[in-house]
């Protein structure tokens, strides 16, 4: 980098910092001039330590004429709305006795975020991710947002309806992972994993002191377990001999039972022995911004504006660098020994799959998503049976992250306007403005978390996924797509359009000039 480039970089960094500072000052000024934005006050919610005999009636003013309380219901347990009739205003006062707290500021009295050093090797130095607004924790919050992504909305509804106590303290005993996902060198590189917390599955163990001694509300953002996978397509593959029962990775299913209770002679199929991990998003904002090549202040402003201003602290708390976004999670499915994922001497087969509910679950044939997923699972089984390991990562990015509503609108446009391959991407752009919003830049994080250092076989035709993985430092030795005979006829439109636009194909090649020849099924053909 030249001297002039370095100076320019420093100037831009200072401008970004000044912009964030100006936004924080403006927000603070707004709160002073707007009486609807009160100062910080801890929310005094009844805790589990309250006496078991303490009832709602002792917490509600007896002068409130609209309050009827059953003295048998105690705080700390979910409220049974059939027995307790509390007016909404009274319930709101019980749940949230403090004034509405719209935002906080770095220099506000009492604000003392728990230290968090992203990428630190020692978890006690790294520190826990804390977004909780409970009274015991709110002044020590070091993250914006709420646990469980979009599912946090259901938690809010449960609390509002009285079926969940806001101060419920989870018991995490006996929930530790049954298989080991140990720390990897990539965990300690703040640029390698920026979209979730690599310590998320070990929270109850490594942050026990912060939870038990300091009383902070800290929750896991990852869980790891073991299971058996049962798929009718794999049953058929096993019946044909394409998948072998080995008693370790592929198991014979127990005999089926007839309606009268007798044992059936029908082929029961097979089950796949797997390990799996569910991962909720936790964004380290400086790292996410760097990954996308934008400034942190621009990222914060976009997240604030285009979530309807849901998270003011994205603007007012530039000191808080972690955000739990309200988006779906990802799930990792591991075929074979999980320890092999970080062993470069073992063969590793990978499929990174983005959610398609219509095809994956309900078998829609307008796309190749389910055939691709099933084929990749077979390939992972074969790789594991050869002494390696298979990995399928399932991201919740429905409809290329455009959502299922947008996807179905595109389907309507395609079928009404002539479903040909030359119009495939244009149809999406007309409605959504872009053809794809998955932006695979954050996707490789999960591979680094698992300790994957090289990929022998990648089942995918996506150049975006391939490039993101390779550019993150993980080489891919072989890539291949779905065999031609597994492609449903109506999804030929999708495949040909992708091949012509540059997606990887090991077989058929398609020129742009020929795309109009590939036509999908019309609605009329489907109606009988």
Specify whether the CB–CB gap between 402 and 341 falls below 8 A: no
421 close to 447: Cβ distance less than 8 angstroms: no
Task: Count CA atoms within 13 Å of residue 516 on its CB side.
Answer: 2
- Asked whether residue 85 carries a pLDDT value surpassing 70, the answer given is no
Q: Are 317 and 106 in contact (CB under 8 A)?
A: yes
Question: Per residue in 191-205, pLDDT tens?
Answer: 999 999 999 999 999
Spatial separation of the C-alpha atoms in residues 219 and 467, rounded to whole Å: 34
d(CA 459, CA 372): 8
For the question of residue 438 being annotated catalytic, the response is yes
Q: What contacts 241, CB < 8 A, 6 or more positions away?
A: none
Is the pLDDT score of 97 beyond 50? yes
389: pLDDT confidence band, cut at 50, 70 and 90? very high
d(CA 37, CA 473): 47
Please indicate whether residue 126 is annotated as part of the active site: no
Does 37 have pLDDT greater than 90? no
pLDDT of residue 317: 95
| Choice among 26-35, 304-313, 421-430 with the minimum mean pLDDT | 26-35
User: Which residue among the candidates 217, 360, 436, 445 is catalytic per the annotation?
Assistant: 436
Tell me how far apart the alpha carbons of residues 247 and 65 are, in angstroms, rounded to a whole number. Answer: 68
The domains found in the chain, sorted by start residue, are: 93-220+285-320 (no CATH), 226-280+326-526 (3.40.50.10990)
Calpha distance 355→395 (Å, rounded): 6
Mean of all residue pLDDT scores within the chain: 84
Alpha-carbon gap, residue 402 to 493, rounded angstroms: 19
Q: Residue 61 CB: number of other CB atoms within 10 A?
A: 8
pTM recorded for the entire structure: 0.83
The mean pLDDT value for 379-399 works out to 97
Half-sphere exposure of 388 (CA within 13 A, CB side): 20
d(CA 72, CA 365): 56
For the segment 308-338, what is each residue's pLDDT rounded down to a tens digit? Answer: 999 999 999 999 999 999 999 999 999 999 9
Q: How far apart are CA 299 and CA 91, in angstroms?
A: 37
Q: Which of 438, 479, 481, 490 is catalytic?
A: 438
**Cα–Cα distance list, 134 to 9, 96, 215 (Å):** 40, 10, 11
Q: Taking the chain, what is the end-to-end CA distance rounded to the nearest angstrom?
A: 67
d(CA 330, CA 394): 6
């Amino acid at each position: 980098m030249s001297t002039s480039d370095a100076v320019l970089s420093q100037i831009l960094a200072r401008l970004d910092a000044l912009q964030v500072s100006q936004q924080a000052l403006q927000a603070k000024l707004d709160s002073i001039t707007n009486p609807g934005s009160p100062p910080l006050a801890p929310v005094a919610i009844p805790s589990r330590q309250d006496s078991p005999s303490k009832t709602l009636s002792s917490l509600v003013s007896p002068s409130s004429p609209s309050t009827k309380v059953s003295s048998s219901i105690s705080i700390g347990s979910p409220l049974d709305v059939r027995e307790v009739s509390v007016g909404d205003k009274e319930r709101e006062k019980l749940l949230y006795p403090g004034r509405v707290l719209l935002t906080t500021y770095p220099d506000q009295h009492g604000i003392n975020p728990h230290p968090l050093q992203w990428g630190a090797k020692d978890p006690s130095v790294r520190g826990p991710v804390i977004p909780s607004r409970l009274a015991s924790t709110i002044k020590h919050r070091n993250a914006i947002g709420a646990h469980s992504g979009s599912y946090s909305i259901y938690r809010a509804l449960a609390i509002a309806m009285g079926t969940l106590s806001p101060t419920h303290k989870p018991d995490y005993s006996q929930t530790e992972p049954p298989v080991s996902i140990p720390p990897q060198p990539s965990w300690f590189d703040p640029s390698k994993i920026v979209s979730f917390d690599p310590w998320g599955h070990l929270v109850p163990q490594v942050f026990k002191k912060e939870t038990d001694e300091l009383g902070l509300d800290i929750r896991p953002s990852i869980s790891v377990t073991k299971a058996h996978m049962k798929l009718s397509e794999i049953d058929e593959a096993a019946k044909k001999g394409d998948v072998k029962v080995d008693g370790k990775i592929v198991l014979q299913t127990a005999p089926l039972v007839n309606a009268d209770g007798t044992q059936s002679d029908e082929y029961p199929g097979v089950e796949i022995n797997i390990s799996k991990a569910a991962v909720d998003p936790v964004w380290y904002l400086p790292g996410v911004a760097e990954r996308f090549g934008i400034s942190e202040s621009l990222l914060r402003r976009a997240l604030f504006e285009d979530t309807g201003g849901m998270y003011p602290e994205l603007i007012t708390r530039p000191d808080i660098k972690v955000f739990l976004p309200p988006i779906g999670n990802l799930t990792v499915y591991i075929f074979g020994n999980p320890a092999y994922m970080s062993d470069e001497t073992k063969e590793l087969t990978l499929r990174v799959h983005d959610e398609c509910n219509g095809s994956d679950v309900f078998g829609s044939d307008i796309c190749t998503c389910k055939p691709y997923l099933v084929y990749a699972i077979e390939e992972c089984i074969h790789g594991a049976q050869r002494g390696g390991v298979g990995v399928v990562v399932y991201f919740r990015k429905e409809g290329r992250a455009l959502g299922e509503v947008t996807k179905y609108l595109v389907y309507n446009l395609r079928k009404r306007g002539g479903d040909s391959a030359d119009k495939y991407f244009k149809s999406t752009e007309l409605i959504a403005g872009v053809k794809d919003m998955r932006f695979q830049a954050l996707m490789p994080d999960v591979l680094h978390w698992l300790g994957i250092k090289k990929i022998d076989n990648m089942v995918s035709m996506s150049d975006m996924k391939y490039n993101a993985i390779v550019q993150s430092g993980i080489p891919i030795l072989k890539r291949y797509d779905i065999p031609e005979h597994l492609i449903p006829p109506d999804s030929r439109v999708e495949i040909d359009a992708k091949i012509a636009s540059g997606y990887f194909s090991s077989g058929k090649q398609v020129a742009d000039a020929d795309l109009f020849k590939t036509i999908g099924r019309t609605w009329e053909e489907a109606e009988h």
